[in-house]
Every structure is written in C-alpha cells, then in structure tokens.
Amino acid sequence: MRAHGLLPRVVSCNVFISAALGLRRPEIALSFFREMRRCRISPNIYTANMVLRAFCDLGRTADAAEVLDKMPEWGVGRTTVSFNTLIAAYCRDGVDAGPALQLKMKMEQEGLVPDVVTYDTIIHGLCKEGRMGKANQVLSEMRVKGVMPNTVTYNTLIHGYVALGDNAMAGRVHEEMVKNRVELDIVTFNALILGLCNEGKMKKVEHLLRELDRAKLEPNASTFSALIVGWCKMQNSERALQLLNVMKKSGFHPNYTTYKMVISSFCKNKDLEGAVDVMGDMLGRCIAPDKALLNEFFDGLWKAKKLHLAENLRSLNNGLKFIPDVYYTGDYRNKDELEMLWAVAN
C-alpha cells in the first residue's frame, strides 16, 4: 500500500497487531506499531491496549508503564482494561504486588472503577506472595465496592491457603463458596484435594471425591496427581500405582514429578520390583530421571542385592541414554566421577 502512496487506516493496523499477538509474536506487533508511528497513523484505544499487552507479554513492564503514561498524549483515554493489563503483568512477576495496588489507586483517582478482573488479579498476586491477610483485605474492599467475588476469586484464595499448608482456612473459603452459591469447578476441588493429600488425610479426600461426582465434574490430570501424592504420603505405593495406571488409561500424561513420587514410594517400601516397573514406564515415555531419584533407586537395589532387576532397563529405549553405566557398576558413589558424567550429559 505504501508503495502506491496509500496508508492503511488504524482499524487495518489493529487487525495486524491483533493477529501477531494471537500468534504469540509480541515483538512483531511492536515492530509494526513503531512503523505506524513513523507513518503518523494515530493509534486508538484498541491499538494502545494491544501495545500494552505486547510489552507485558515480553516482560517489559517498565515500557508498558511508559505506554500507559503516554496514552493521553496520543489522545487516547485510558480504560479499566488498560490498567488491568499492567496490573496483571506486575502480579505475574510475583515479586511484589505493591505496584499493582498503587496502579489500582491511580485508576480510581482517574474515575475508573476496578472490576472483578482487577480484584482477582491483585488477590492472585498477593496469594502468590503468601500475603493472605492483605488478600482478604482486598476481598473485603471488593465486597464493599459492590463487586461480587466469583469462582476465580475463591479458587485463588484456596490455592493461597493450600500453598501455606493452611487447609482449615482453605476449607472455610470452600464453605463460603457453597453458602454464597458460587459455582465450584474442577480447579476448586483439585486445590482442596491437594491440600488434604499433602497431609495424608485420605478419608476427607474420599468425601470430596463424592462431592465432585455429585457436581458431575470429571477428574483431570491434576486430580490424579494430587491423589497419587496423597497415597504416596501414606506409603501406599500399590494404590498410587493403580491411580497412575487409571490416569494413563483416562488419556492423561503423568509428569516427571508424579513418576518420581511413585518410584520413591516403592523404594521406601522396599518394593523394588514395583520401582523398576514404574522406572521402565517412565523411560519408555522419554522422561529422564534426575540424579537424586537415580541415587535413591540404585541405593535400594544395591542394598537389597537386587541389581539384576534393573538389567532390563538397559535394553529399553532411552535406558542407556538416561542411566549412566556407573549406576550399574556402583561407581556412582564416587561423587567426583558422577558429577563429571552429569555435566557431560547435560
């Protein structure tokens, strides 16, 4: 268009920027925006908000803040969405929610009303920092301002309490959700289940699973992973293995943490045949064990004089690649040699 002396209108430019962001290419969106400015095409509110998002996606919050400051100079009025975008970036960094709270005050001073997204984002940032007292203050303010907490709000608080090991408070938040008739989703149940599983309270977990079934919600990968954690905490490696198999049959893919938990549980219970079977399954899925797991695994085999159980692992795909020979010879106990091998492998 430019070759023929024509310039695109801002609406056409916005379509291109939006497409770049949709493809997760914020750097292209910003490059195009700079070209817009060189061509003296004035941005509108949609352009400015997308540029804000692009900088935030790149982790360049200082540049995003500068864009927010410049919007009035461009003749573009800032909106709640503009502030929410930068607030989300501050909270995502997880270092200090202070700037997000200051930004909320600034938007209120400009006559803008924080919405449920604003409050949910700030509460999420505070919960990540473990500042549950402040998160509850924001929740109270939210109610006073007439903004009703939603499923995301309550789930965030539950996750925050579970992360701190405070399952009693997580349970109270759950009760408040039910009392206020706020919809419970699979995320709610997964957080509550994980909290109880971390403490090995499997009877209470069974009650939650029945509640989950009544709500007609389907367990997902996080549900299975949490349950496996719980049974491993109870040193019931057989039950953990059953759940691992059900998880796979249900179409979910266990991650390394889940496999490591089950293998470690078998090792602690001195069920080395089970540990070898699960290790073989993990290797077959091209998941590499770390040094700590291999040490625990082979320590158990050597002490029980059952190293022969692991011989078949060598013939598996990735067996030789992921398990250095020193584990079969016993030389892995030589710290210097093992560290050299891991340095080469990684």
pLDDT of the residue at 215: 93
The CA–CA distances, whole Å, from 58 to 49, 62, 102, 237, 294 equal: 14, 11, 22, 43, 37
Measured from the Cβ of residue 341, the count of other Cβ atoms closer than 10 Å reads: 18
Domain with 292 in it: 263-346
Please give the pLDDT value at position 98: 87
For residue 255, is it within any domain?
Answer: no
Please determine, for residue 45, whether its predicted confidence score (pLDDT) is greater than 60.
yes
Listed residue (209, 200, 206) closest to 165, CA to CA: 200
Could you say which of 33, 51, 74 is where a domain stops? Answer: 74
pLDDT grade for 207, boundaries at 50, 70 and 90: very high
Chain mean pLDDT for the chain: 92
324 assigned to some structural domain: yes
245-266 pLDDT, tens per residue? Answer: 999 999 999 999 999 999 999 9
Domain boundary pick from 49, 74, 99 = 74
According to the model, what pLDDT value does residue 255 have?
95
Query: Residues 313-324: pLDDT tens digits?
Result: 988 877 878 998
**Nearest in space to 119 (alpha carbons), one of 74, 87, 95, 75:** 87
Count of CB atoms situated within 10 Å of the CB of 297:
25
Q: Are 51 and 30 in contact (CB under 8 A)?
A: yes
Residue recorded with tokens 């982790």 = 59
Give a yes or no: residue 314 inside a domain. Answer: yes
**Residues sharing a CB contact under 8 Å with residue 329, sequence separation 6 or more, in sequence order:** none
What's residue 1's pLDDT? 44
- Per-residue pLDDT band at 4 (split at 50, 70, 90): very low
Q: 61 in a domain, yes or no?
A: yes
The mean pLDDT value for 55-73 works out to 95
Question: What total number of domains does the chain contain?
Answer: 2
Q: Which alpha helices (DSSP H) does 250-334 contain, by range?
A: 256-268, 272-284, 291-303, 319-322, 326-329
The pLDDT value given to residue 326: 87
Confidence category of residue 343, pLDDT binned at 50, 70, 90: low
Residue range 17-30, pLDDT digits in tens: 999 999 999 999 99
Does 127 reside within a domain? no
Could you say which of 74, 104, 135 is where a domain stops? 74
- Residue 185: inside a domain: no
Q: Measure the CA–CA gap between 135 and 95, rounded to whole angstroms.
A: 15
Is 221 part of a structural domain of the chain? no
Per-residue pLDDT of 147-201, as tens digits, reads 999 999 999 999 999 999 999 999 999 999 999 999 999 999 999 999 999 999 9
Where does residue 32 rank: exposed (0-12), middle (13-18), buried (19+ CB within 10 A)? Answer: middle
